[in-house]
Amino acid sequence: MAAPMALRRELFSLTRIIGGISRLGPRAVGACSGHGTNNITRSLLPLASCTSFHTTTVFSSTPSSITVTEEADTLYQKVSLLVKGHDRAVLDSYELFATTAAKELNITINKVHEQPKDMDRFTLLKSVHIFKNHRVQYEMRTHYRCIELAHITGCTAQVYLEYVQRNLPEGVAMAVTKTSMEKVPDHILKPLWEDHPIDNELSQ
Amino acid sequence: MLLVLVCRDQQAEPHTRRISLHMLLLEIKAGDPRTEKMPVDQDWTAVYPSATPFRPNAVPLPLRMGYPVKGGVPPEKKGNLELLKIPNFLHLTPVAIKKHCEALKPFCTEWPSALDTDATCDEHFPIKVDGTDYVSAGPSVRNPSARVVHLRVKLSSLNLDDHASKKMLKLVGNKYCKDTDVITIKTDSCPLRQQNQDYAMYLLTVLYHESWKTEAWEAEKSVADMEEYSWEDSPSQRNLLDVLVRRKAAGEGEGEGEEVREQLLGRSEVQEYKDSVTRLKNEGESESAVLQYKEAVKKVLNL
């Protein structure tokens, strides 16, 4: 399949490793574990010859085994992706990609909006020495795009975010804010003092 | 040059003309770009399976990019640096995205259908924990802001009685939002996000249990510490009752303090006055509140 091979190719761009996202457990393609690096180098050799001809190799892999654990899945009420870049056209294309991917994976999209751009301007002296009256001005424009998704489970969020982040174009940054919902834990359901009354002298 | 060869063949052996023409059509000259041989219904995902720089000989589109020369058009795609510089999404066509998602679908789980509205979510899962991840290219993959955790919980969803909720509000201070009834705990003192999450949950537990405790010094709570204004035993009540009692005494000449006071308190105008004063003190001054107070005063004093 083109998909696992394409994803494996993304692993080569190591600068885009996600910070703080736990690795995908049940995926056979995921080479995040220690021995995975050897797998990458080994797979480089058969692929290198094919890259120049731009053909897909028939990737003979063992079918990825999906393990289902009893652990409860986290529930995210809201996942908001804020993408920042210097080029608005790149962000437009990326937004199209992210929204299409979300629709394909049946993720509800709350809102897609564009934050107004930030312009970072500064004025410097044009010359190395003296000539204070001659300056040069620079500005850096940062464009934003915010994609808000609602009602996602932990597994789906992991899959979607990893897919979308591996295909983040160069020069674009992303900040993902996840709001997870939790039940009130058992130790906050009832006050402790009903069962074990404490003397006031002790508390003083 | 190839045309010349063909002509020579035709002159030499006319009966083999068709074969050499056929061979010309089939012959792949090394210099031809790949775009010439691309069929219209090809599998594009095979041409661009992953993120690669723009190759003009592999993209069959008549693209032009760049600032045009004076009186001219933007430069063509052959040898165009602008097309190389900009990130391209040729590997992420809708067809490619569909293929990728088909492969990813087995790893996704469905959202429980019972939790379709925010209200049901709040009811069953009242605690909300916020965490942020950052992705960017740079010398380091880590971002120190990723350890910050916000824990939000509605006060009404915790099991607290009257005294406990008031004490909780005093303990929590400015972390409580009155409009939304939400307590927000922000933790960033630990280096890892998991540690901050645990610390926030620990703070919530401590707040909860401490607010149920009643300390000895809480008995010294004075009127200044009260969260809400209560009319009973307030200067306003005393003043009103004094005025009414003196009026009654002046009018009828009766005087038995306690019973008269009880009767006066029972009257509906006095209750209305009490409501209007409590409203003014608790909710602040607004036009409707001041008007209500005016009406109540007029009724009580029979103006």
Determine the pLDDT at residue B255.
Answer: 57
Determine if the pTM surpasses 0.90: no
Q: Which two tokens stand for residue B139?
A: 């010398």
Contacts of A171 in chain B (CB under 8 A): 87, 137
Calculate what percentage of chain B has a pLDDT beyond 90.
35
Query: Which residues of chain B have a CB within 8 Å of the CB of A173?
Result: 134-137
Find which of A70-74, A165-169, A196-200, B282-286 is predicted with most confidence, using mean pLDDT.
Answer: A165-169
Confirm if A122 and A109 have CB atoms less than 8 A apart.
Answer: no
Asked if B84 is an interface residue toward chain A (Cβ–Cβ < 8 A), one would say: no
Q: Give the pair of three-digit tokens for residue B187.
A: 């933790």
Residues 119-138 of A with CB under 8 A from B: none
pLDDT for residue A62: 53
CB-CB under 8 Å, A13 with B107: no
Q: In this structure, are residues B244 and B300 in contact, taking their beta carbons and an 8 Å threshold?
A: yes
Contact of A202 with chain B, judged by CB distance below 8 Å, is answered with no
* Domain boundaries, position A178: 75-118+144-182
Contact B135 A175 (CB under 8 A): yes
Nearest to A169 by CA among A20, A3, A16: A16
Chain centroid to Cα B159, Å, comes to 26
Is A81 in contact with A174 (CB distance < 8 Å)?
A: yes
Domain limits of chain B?
A: 33-112, 119-215, 228-300
**What would the pLDDT profile of B121-174 be if each residue is shown by its tens digit?**
888 899 999 999 999 888 998 999 999 999 999 988 888 888 888 889 889 989
Residue A13 lies in a domain: no
Classify residue A70: in a domain, yes or no.
Answer: no
Q: Is B164–A191 a contact, with Cβ atoms under 8 angstroms apart?
A: yes
Number of domains in chain A: 1
Interface mutation vs chain A, best among B35, B38, B52, B104, most A CBs within 10 Å: B104
Helix A2-10 × helix B94-104 angle, to 10°: 90
Q: In the prediction, which pLDDT does B15 show?
A: 52
Q: Is A109 in CB contact (< 8 Å) with chain B? A: no
Q: What residues have CB less than 8 Å from B223, skipping those under 6 apart?
A: B234
Interacting residues of A62 by C-beta distance below 8 A, sequence separation 6+ = A28
Amino acid identity of B7?
A: C
Q: Closest-CA residue in chain B for A74?
A: B111
Q: What is the Cα A179 distance to its own chain's centre?
A: 14
In chain B, residues 112-171 whose CB comes closer than 8 Å to chain A: 112, 115-116, 118, 121, 124-138, 141-143, 146, 157-159, 164
Question: Hey, how many other C-beta atoms are within 10 angstroms of the C-beta on A47?
Answer: 13
> Two tokens at A18?
């996600």
User: Residue A28 pLDDT > 70, yes or no?
Assistant: no
Residue A27 is predicted with a pLDDT of 40
Rounded to the nearest 5 percent, the helix, strand and coil shares of chain B are: 55, 10, 35
Q: Which fold has domain B119-215?
A: Double Stranded RNA Binding Domain (3.30.160)
B41 pLDDT above the threshold of 70: yes
**Cβ neighbours of residue A122 closer than 8 Å, sequence gap 6 or more:** A137, A138, A139
Phi-psi region of B242 (alpha: psi -120 to 50; beta: other; left: phi over 0): alpha
Q: For residue B112, count CB atoms less than 10 angstroms from its CB and return exposed for 0-12, middle for 13-18, buried for 19 or more.
A: middle
Neighbours of B124 (CB within 10 A): 14
Instruction: Tell me the CATH number at A166.
Output: 3.30.70.600
Q: Would you place residue B250 in the very low, low, confident or very high pLDDT band (cuts 50, 70, 90)?
A: confident
pLDDT in the model for residue A20: 38
Query: What is the rounded CA–CA span in Å between residue B291 and residue B277?
Result: 11
Decide: A109 and A38 in contact? Cβ < 8 Å: no
Residues of A in Cβ contact (< 8 Å) with B83: none
Any chain B CB within 8 A of the CB of A29?
A: no
Residue B230 binned pLDDT confidence (cut-offs 50, 70, 90): confident
> Would an 8 Å CB–CB cutoff place A196 in contact with chain B?
no
Cross-strand bridge partners of residue A146: A82, A113
Interface test with B, best of A106, A182, A183 (most B CBs within 10 A): A182
Q: Which residues of A touch B219 (CB under 8 A)?
A: none
The pLDDT tens digits of the residues spanning B58-69 come to 999 999 999 998
How far apart, in Å, are the Cα atoms of B293 and each of A131, A197, B261, B290? 72, 47, 21, 5
pLDDT at A4: 44
CB nearest to B132's CB, from A13, A54, A176: A176
Q: How buried is residue A122: exposed, middle or buried, by Cβ count under 10 Å (0-12/13-18/19+)?
A: exposed
Residue with the two structure tokens 């306690």: B258
Is B220 within 8 Å of chain A by CB? no
